[in-house]
Chain A
């Protein structure tokens, strides 16, 4: 383990603990809601970036994976009365399978065809859920929560800890992919797919793996939703907004490293929570505008901007070889 990695792993262990103890220190319950939503978007944006940022395949179906995760958890809960960890694991497994299936069907397609196919898959899945009586169809489903597990006072507090763990796990996964052979292979796919294939990179296998991991994480992010809101309804769960948000967060934060989506998610999702009381529509508009602006003017996102600033200060102080911390 390099010296630079120590802060990362320390934060990875400390964050869930903080999420557990924060409410005890008297933090307003409202901020727990905000924290839950922000962390949920951290998972979604990070998961999106594994396929979108590293491999260069734009997925518009984030909402579909998220919704499938939520409904998988709901069915596990209704049929088997499964506890939350089982629901999350089940949702992640189904998300991975779905990612694999969608990947097999669509990954041979390039660029925009892949993106359109993911929208198509999302709408088809939504239509199936709309017509599925068991989970309430279009009118949705009310859930009666079981008793709060031991050690927690309210559901919100427990789900905040769960979501923190999910966010940390997804960041660890993304960071591992970025630094390992997997990430190198995916970047080769992004930059020159044919050349990568010719020089022996198993492009289709890598893409399928990325698809499955990304799908599993997105579905896991949706799994706690039924317990969180105790009501679930297809239109809002499968909303295109999740896809736009995940995409915008990764682009605004920067798609080349794991830190980008995290930064983007924290910025956009927290501003959304505070703008929600004023005008949610205006916030969506600003998110769209930010997406367009960053894609044109700052293609490497906030992380790219920070790196440039870091390099400039390094040059000014004469320390050319200092690498920024987040590259650790």
Chain B
């Protein structure tokens, strides 16, 4: 029932969609993987960014240009949210677990309801020259938007990886993830570093959100599905690994695409969550974990 061409197509599409999953997860990979913040609102910020892209699109901005425009506001949004989280929970120390999770859950919920109040429950689309057209390679037709996703995902991964490995700030972020106390001893401010890193994570989320608007129509309740996909990718990758995120995204994308071709689209939402449960049960440190 599964011919070679169909399988090949599922693999190619899965890998491309997987790159997209990596791009939307990379912000969480920093926020949760490196900084250890239970950032359940990540998916909600993603959908928020997608709606901002749509909004700028109605003024004639290309989604990719819109992504660059919302980069800085989202950086500050992230920095503010982290500062708030720090003052309210991390600083007080004990019992951050339950309340921190409840806090981000509340924030996510507020964003979702805010979006459905302002934009309604209808699906929204953005338009660009690369949406709706496709590139023909042999028998296969590959939508340009997936190729855009591939380029952005690879660019984002390589960029963030180089940033974390090569620059002073990036190294400081990895250091704070490793041992915040040691950072304090050498005279750096761990809170400010984490605030900066959370800003970067949220800015990366803004780019992910713009991609989300390019790849599929957006609706306010979309964040629910992406909570599963993003956490699946981050946990599968092993916390805080950038190149692992790209690989994990592709694994998820291919798995989802094969399930989709074999069993039908109605089973697709369960794939990411099933994979996540499997990883959590068998290898909680992830495939590429420390």
Chain A residues packing against B (C-beta within 8 Å): 52, 56, 58, 60, 105-106, 109-113, 115-117, 119-121, 123-124, 126-128, 130-131, 138, 240, 244, 247-248, 251, 255, 281-282, 284-285, 287-289, 291-292, 295-296, 299
Asked if B113 is at the interface of the complex by the 8 Å CB criterion, the answer is yes
Contact indicator B269/A123 (Cβ below 8 Å): yes
A296 and B273 contact, CB distance less than 8 A: no
Chain B contact residues, majority secondary structure: helix
Segment touching A, from B15-23, B67-75, B104-112, B189-197: B104-112
* CB closest chain-A residue, reference B99: A295
CB pairs A–B below 8 angstroms (16 shown): A58-B98, A58-B101, A109-B284, A111-B97, A113-B280, A113-B284, A116-B228, A120-B228, A120-B277, A123-B270, A138-B266, A251-B102, A285-B113, A291-B102, A292-B103, A296-B103
Q: What is the bound-complex CA distance between A299 and B95, given in angstroms? A: 10
- A-contacting residues, B83-124, CB 8 Å: 88, 95, 97-99, 101-103, 105-107, 109-110, 113-114, 116-117
Residues in A with CB closer than 8 Å to B225 are: 123
Contact status B98-A285, CB under 8 Å: no
Q: How far is the CB of A217 from chain B (nearest CB, A)?
A: 19
| A52 pairs with B269, CB closer than 8 A | no
Q: How far is the CB of A6 from chain B (nearest CB, A)?
A: 33
A106 and B227 within 8 A (CB): no
Interface residue total, chain B, C-beta cutoff 8 A: 37
B171 at the interface (CB under 8 A from A): no
Q: Which residues of B contact A244 (CB under 8 A)?
A: 105, 109
Q: How far is the CA of A60 from the CA of B223 in the complex (A)?
A: 14
Look across to chain A and name the residue whose beta carbon is closest to the beta carbon of B36: A112
Q: A-contacting residues of B (Cβ < 8 Å)?
A: 32, 38, 40, 88, 95, 97-99, 101-103, 105-107, 109-110, 113-114, 116-117, 224-225, 227-228, 231, 235, 266-267, 269-270, 273-274, 276-277, 280-281, 284
Q: A247–B102 contact, CB under 8 A? A: yes
Shortest A290–chain B CB gap in Å is 8
Which residues on A sit within 8 Å (CB–CB) of B32? 112
Contacts of B106 in A (CB 8 A): 248, 288-289, 291-292, 295
- Chain B nearest CB from A139 CB (Å) reads 12
B113:A295 contact, CB within 8 angstroms: no
Asked whether, in the complex, the Cβ of B40 is within 8 Å of the Cβ of A115, the reply is yes
Given A111-B97, A123-B269, A138-B266, A117-B102 contact (CB < 8 Å)? no
Task: List 20 additional A-B contacts (Cβ < 8 Å) besides A117-B276, A127-B269.
Answer: A52-B98, A56-B98, A105-B281, A106-B277, A109-B280, A112-B32, A112-B38, A115-B101, A116-B40, A117-B277, A117-B280, A119-B228, A121-B273, A123-B224, A124-B277, A127-B270, A130-B266, A288-B107, A288-B109, A291-B105
